Structure 1
Amino acid sequence: MNLARIPIFIFSCLLFLCQNSTAQEVNYRQQMRNLVIEISENAKAKNENFLVIPQNGIELILSESKNPALNYLKAIDAVGQEDLFYGYPEFNQPTPKPDITYLLKHLEIAKNQGKEVLVTDYCSTSKKIANSFCLNKKNEFISFAATRRELDEIPDYAIFNENKADIKHISEAKNFLYLLNYANYPGKKDLIAEIAFTNYDLIIIDLFFNKEAFTAEEIKKLKKKKNGGDRLVIAYMSIGEAEEYRYYWKDSWNKNPPIWLAEENPYWSGNFKVKYWHPEWKRHIYRNKDAYLKKIVNLGFDGVYLDIIDAYQYFEAGN
């Protein structure tokens, strides 16, 4: 077709239709798989043993043809799942059986593909905590019972399957701690001292205390359990939402948001959905010298725990 002979009005219409058609044809699930794969390739190029663990969005392990998404599975080392037995739709409540059945079906597929499963249940009574660990152990999942939805405290119950072993690979971990909110700690030293006083095999923490990043020396200290054994230290990173309290956030975005920034999460103030396939968002995550992932890798973390993996559901719903 000779575009020079097309009247400008018709050309504009064709361009509009083409642009909108392209937008409608975005495969949101595959775009999230692509981002996780790119993160994995980038991190493992610097540390081949670096762990990549996506949380939730378990459907991504299957392609649209319902076969295992092999490239995605190859890129990850484990999967994280919240609310498997307790916490959905409300804290401290049993997850409905149909939801458990659905999640277990997918988690078993991941397990059969050689991926470890980390489960975070949200419950606070002794009976429910014990039942959570029992159910997860039965399924050979590594689990943590969070006594607060805010993930702001180290539980005071005895660690299940506590041990003195050196944990060099995630498959060796018997338990883990998930701690992201540090509001209860007056300073970073207090937080480090309390975590170092535990015997968890694996800990998932935020890279920053307030806006101050942990140092490589501090991460090294956290890699030792109280009993002397080695453990894994994993950094949390959200890739499906932008957070206005992060170092990359620009004040100008509040009035003039970039094209890839979507609406605020109504349940978490200051968190905004992002078009995670957009090159500019990827630049903040791993594509520049000050990228989030590079900070994590350079500080000596053993891996990254990727959150808001299920952001594709937001866009699939037409938002």
Structure 2
Amino acid sequence: MKNAAVAFALLFLVACSSNDDNDSNTSDPVGDRDFKQDMRDFVIGISQKAKAADADFFIIPQNGIELVTTNGEEDGTPATAYLSAIDANGQEDLLFGYDNDNQATPADATTYLKSFLNVSKNSGNTILVTDYVSTPAKIAASYQQNEASGYVSYAATERALNVIPGTPPHNENNVVVTSLSQAKNFLYLINPDSYATKQAFINAVCATNYDAVIIDLFLENEAFTTAEIAQLKSKANGGKRVVICYMSIGEAEDYRYYWDASWNNAKPGWMEALNPDWPGNYKVQYWNTEWQGIIYKNNNSYLDKIINAGFDGVYLDIIDAFEYFEN
């Protein structure tokens, strides 16, 4: 939990930051925008609203790790306002999966990513690594090497993140976990398609002993309730865990509750190209007021639904959307 002085500083910095909403309704992203700072400001705004409702709510951006320095370079100075607004960084493919699943990530890519991850780690944030790896020897190597770096990791055997591994969690324990700093392992399970009902999904997760679980707000377009999230917070061995909600903020998804049917014929000006790797996902001008309203600024925003459901934090995806606009 950040103290009141830091919270005040965040409010001041966001109010004074560049690229505020003065021109956020334009459909033209070309110009003098600082796309990295736009994303930092977006995440800081989400953090401010969430922590005003629950000071212990976790904010975890995934990928886009270059945002932790002011210039996005390995030798840049820490972006303190951003680092103070978040509680962890998620990173995919650090050791396995960068080019192909179950294949070691090139050493230079790992070194590059770690240089930024350690900036966040040294500021007091937790690092959550997801490696996409499936053979036992490589799974063991992933856990061993991430642990040696001081990172908490998950060896995902499927990139679809749709299965619970058949083996016990790495560093399994029966501790009552209430903060990310206590977590020794986590489960990333945002594709519940193989479960016929929410209760079947809940039963499967509750049969595990993971310290933290990252899931979606919805199963078959039906949101989890506060009672259901409370069930998920219990480990099978009697311990407790934190439950974190996945939310994509750099792309709009046509299967989400917020999707307007009229967008199928005419996309709003802030909506960009289709992501060819993920059908139904569209790049967005994430600094746009309308999009930010959907995500967190409106009274019944996506973030509000997550907080009201009783989640302990939010896992923010497509943080690296700035790369699309920079390129």
| TM-score by shorter chain over 0.5 | yes
Aligned partner of 1:289 in structure 2 is 299
Q: Does 1:126 align with 2:152?
A: no
What is the distance in 1 between the residues matched to 2:167 and 2:240?
21
Q: 1:39 aligns with which of 38, 46, 49?
A: 46
Match of 1:53 in 2: 60
Residues 32 and 138 of structure 1, relative CA distance in 2, 3 Å threshold: same
In 1, are the aligned partners of 2:97 and 2:131 still within 8 Å (CA)?
Answer: yes
Q: Could you tell me which residue of structure 1 aligns to residue 104 of structure 2?
A: 94
Partner of 2:32: 25
Contact 2:29 2:285 in 1 (8 A): no
Task: Report matched runs for 1:117-266 at 5 Å.
Answer: 117-266=127-276
Report the Cα offset of residue 20 of structure 1: 11
Deviation at 1:223? 0.5
* Separation (CA, whole Å) in 1 of partners of 2:28 and 2:103: 43
Which amino acid counterpart does residue 323 of structure 2 have in structure 1?
Answer: Q
Give, as a single letter, the amino acid of the residue that structure 1 aligns with 2:180: I
Q: Hey, what's the Cα distance between the residues in 1 that align with 2:28 and 2:224? A: 45
Matched letter for residue 35 of structure 1: F
- 2:289 pairs, out of 261, 275, 279, with 279
Paired residue for 1:85? 95
Aligned partner of 2:6 in structure 1 is none
For 1:62, the equivalent position in structure 2 comes to 69
Deviation at 1:23, TM superposition (A): 3.6
Q: Structure 1: which amino acid aligns with 2:271?
A: L
Counterpart for residue 9 of structure 1? none
Structure-1 separation of matches of 2:238 and 2:41: 39
Q: Distance in 1 between matches of 2:181 and 2:95?
A: 22
Question: How far has the Cα of 1:251 moved from its partner?
Answer: 1.0
Separation of aligned partners in 1, 2:27 and 2:257:
33
Moved over 6 A (4+): 19-22
Q: Aligned-residue CA RMSD in angstroms?
A: 1.3
Paired amino acid for 1:79: N
1:225-246 CA-partner distances (Å, limit 9, x unpaired): 0111110000000000000000
Q: Give 1:229's aligned amino acid.
A: G
State the alpha-carbon separation in 2 of the partners of residues 298 and 134 from structure 1: 37
Q: Which amino acid aligns with 1:160?
A: H
Q: Which has the larger radius of gyration?
A: 1
Compute the displacement of 1:34 (Å).
Answer: 0.2
Distance 1:166 1:300 in 2: 17
- Secondary structure of the 2:231 match is helix
Cα distance in 2 for partners of 1:78, 1:246 equals 26
Residue identity opposite 1:61 in structure 2? V
Q: CA–CA distance in 2 between the matches of 1:21 and 1:68?
A: 30
1:40 counterpart letter in structure 2: S
Q: How many residues align?
A: 299
Deviation of 1:21 after TM superposition, in Å, equals 10
User: Is 1:314 the equivalent of 2:321?
Assistant: no
Q: Given the two structures, how large is their TM-score scaled by the length of structure 2?
A: 0.90
Is the CA contact 2:270–2:284 (under 8 Å) kept in the aligned structure 1? yes
| Alpha-carbon distance between aligned partners in 2 of 1:110 and 1:20, rounded to the nearest angstrom | 33
Shift of 1:290: 2.1
Q: Percent identity?
A: 52
CA distance in 2, matches of 1:59, 1:22: 20
**Deviation larger for 57-66 or 219-228:** 57-66
Counterpart residue identity of residue 285, structure 2: K
CA distance in 2, matches of 1:22, 1:100: 31
- Structure 2, unaligned stretches of length 5 or more? 1-25
Shift of residue 289 of structure 1?
A: 2.4
In structure 1, runs of 5+ residues without a counterpart are: 1-18
Offset of 1:191 from its aligned partner?
Answer: 0.4
Mapped partners of 1:23, 1:122: distance in 2: 35
The secondary structure found in structure 1 opposite 2:129 is: strand
How far off is 1:311 after superposition? 0.1
